[in-house]
Structure 1
Amino acid sequence: MNAPLPPAPRDPQALAEACAAAMWHNDSTSQRLGMALIRVAPGEAMLEMTVTEAMSNGHGNCHGGYIFTLADSAFAFACNSRNAVVVGQHCSITYLTPGRLGDRLTAEAREVSLKGRSGIYDIHITNQHGEPVAEFRGHSRTVKGQHLPDPA
């Protein structure tokens, strides 16, 4: 049986970290793909993932779906950093250079705009040499719910 979640912290950085911990606990996709949550802040997140043989396509490169999934996970942690449940409404990705077997990919998400229930986030995906691999733009929508209970 799961223990009740602690109340949401008031400090924005502590809140972002607590929301990320609550989400990570249930995020089997990111965990099973070997992603690591490196950093989270209000409207920001950084995740990393190493390209494995199971992620390679017929060209011997990282399948684009795995790069997309890494970017989408960074997007999710960035837009859920304020204790509101937020989902992706629309996104697009542009692949710039292939990810290679053994590459350590980093997805860095930053909030561009947040107005009402709608947000826009840019996610830059690079390899271990800092070379750009892809650019992802996500549009978010806040829905009902919170990750943590309001403080008493």
Structure 2
Amino acid sequence: MEKWTKITQSPDETQKLAEKLGTLVQPGDVITLEGDLGAGKTSFTKGLAKGLGVKRVVNSPTFTIIKEYKGRLPLYHMDVYRMEDEMEDLGLEEYFYGEGVSVIEWPSMIKSQLPEDRLIISLFHLGETSRKIMIASKGNRSLELSKELQS
């Protein structure tokens, strides 16, 4: 697993990093977002969606669990925080191995269902608007994606 860190000073800067990632992703890519409430997970997803060419407003799927957006590739935005049971069958494999990109907030809730190859993004508060973003790759495809994002 390879890791690197990026410090951003504003939500706009965080979204720009995610927007770049949105231009690099391919069908079947899985990105997990970890971090405290308000750390910027949904903000990051908004930037990613912009990079994918999504025109709709992106907001947290807290109560619906999964929201789908159309862009260059479908974006599957998941917030699994409220799942009752980790083994609840939501057909996640169809999303993970489908035609789109999956972004999962609170991935620890479904650890056993996550694909092995995934990009793990952790966001931490440094100040009111600054964030520490740790990016770790787990698998060959996510390593390639991480290197492209870092360059």
Structure-2-length-normalised TM-score? 0.29
Q: Which has the larger radius of gyration?
A: 1
Give the structure with the higher percent strand. Answer: 1
- Structure with bigger RCO (C-alpha 8 Å, 6+ apart): 2
Larger helix percent: 2
